[in-house]
Amino acid sequence: MLVALAGTLLAAPALAQRPRTRRPAPPPPPAAATRRPAAVIPTPRSVLGFEPGDDRKLVEWPVLVRYFEALAKASDRVDYRELGKTTLGVPFIALVISSPQNLRRLDYYRQVNAGLADPRSFRTSRAAREALQNGKTIVLITSSVHSTEVGGHLSPVALAYRLATDTGATTRAILDNVILWLVPSLNPDGVTIVAKWYNRTIGTTAEGTSPPELYHHYTGHDNNRDWYAFTQVETQLTVDSLYNVWHPQIVHDIHQMGSYGARLFLPPYLDPVEPNVDPLLIDGVNALGTAMAWELDGQGKTGISINSTYDAWTPARAYQHYHGGVRILSETASADLATPIDVPFDRLQARERGYNPRERSWNFTNPWRGGRWSLRDIVSYQTEGAYARRARSAVGANGRMPT
């Protein structure tokens, strides 16, 4: 149903309402426009040895890097970039995913978006309108800043593979209208630290526990409080290479939370909301988070809460709030790392903020019934959420800012 809904939204209003102004021709593609011929796209299993989400399966960072390199080599929808090295010296990477035509003109779209990010650069209102017509929606997805939230290691694999291979109308619209920057881990060092510990302890009483060392060498879990001090190289690379160059209009940061409340949290956030953030950005957060929840509900996913967590107050966590971007935080319920757990319905905690996970309410419309909860569920909620986010971005594109 929702695929049809997304398709309708994509096709009808955005195109029908497009103003009939003459559009200046975009620059010709670069001379060396012969991109790689279509090759067989490697499946995640062919490199990882398992499907993302399989029970008790985690891999260290170099294996994930190998997959993304192979994917970019085979797909003309995916480019691979190494942005620098992490604290412990491994590649800090990003993928850029879009249609082959858009990827050929990346620099052109970067310049258009730079103008939109600083409208003082437009001499006339017509120039501003043309930039809106010609631009694409720039989306940044960041994952796995917290390394024990292991769905975040694998959901980017599933998402990138889907966008590289799917030929459906929704995916094509996403690729045509969105330039997606995907940072598969904001803390690659921690991916390896957690995977090593997990794989070493499988079958022991320590299986599924957190490693006995910080998963970020200097800051541990507080690596996600660095978005105004920029003390860590991973933060610096993200800000200097992506935020300040591409000015994403939408940022989706993938996280996990505790096991005994909702299955998935999406914005709107609870108050307090930082009063210095532009009201339009808060409106965007509220609208997009609710739309994602709606779409996932329609797929039959249960246990989705909105307006049940605060996360729009401190600038330590939200660079984009002050730089023209809508920030979507998603938090999926955790298992014991990659080990499934059993959550009986009566163990769901009735003392969550703003809702009771055992009862329906306006912001928790379809409670989860309890039972087995596994990495497969986590990867499914995260991947579908990220895909719904992209589809919604495509709706607002076609030369407009996102809806």
Q: What does the binding site for Zn ion look like in residue numbers (CB under 5 A)? A: 146, 255
Q: How far is the CB of 255 from Zn ion (least distance, A)?
A: 4
Q: How far is the CB of 182 from Zn ion (least distance, A)?
A: 18
Q: How far is the CB of 111 from Zn ion (least distance, A)?
A: 34
Instruction: Single out the residue of 310, 311, 301 nearest to residue 365, CA to CA.
Output: 301
DSSP 16-27: HT---PPPPPPP
- Alpha-carbon span 105 to 82, nearest angstrom: 19
Closer to Zn ion by CB, 301 or 317: give it: 317
Closer to Zn ion by CB, 149 or 377: give it: 149
Closer to Zn ion by CB, 213 or 359: give it: 213
- Alpha-carbon span 42 to 67, nearest angstrom: 8
Task: Determine the 3-state secondary structure of 211 from DSSP.
Answer: coil
Closer to Zn ion by CB, 145 or 395: give it: 145
DSSP 292-353: HHHHHHHTT---EEES-S--BS-GGG-GGGGTT-EEEEEEEEP-BTTB-EEE-GGGS-TT-S
Q: How far is the CB of 356 from Zn ion (least distance, A)?
A: 23
Terminal CA-to-CA distance of the chain, rounded, Å?
A: 21
Closer to Zn ion by CB, 255 or 390: give it: 255
Q: How far is the CB of 256 from Zn ion (least distance, A)?
A: 6
Closer to Zn ion by CB, 147 or 363: give it: 147
- 144 Cβ neighbours under 8 A, 6+ residues apart: 150, 152, 153, 156, 184, 185, 186, 187, 190, 191, 254
Q: How far is the CB of 145 from Zn ion (least distance, A)?
A: 6
Closer to Zn ion by CB, 130 or 253: give it: 253
DSSP 172-202: HHHHHHEEEEEES-S-HHHHHHHHHHHHHHT
Q: How far is the CB of 149 from Zn ion (least distance, A)?
A: 5
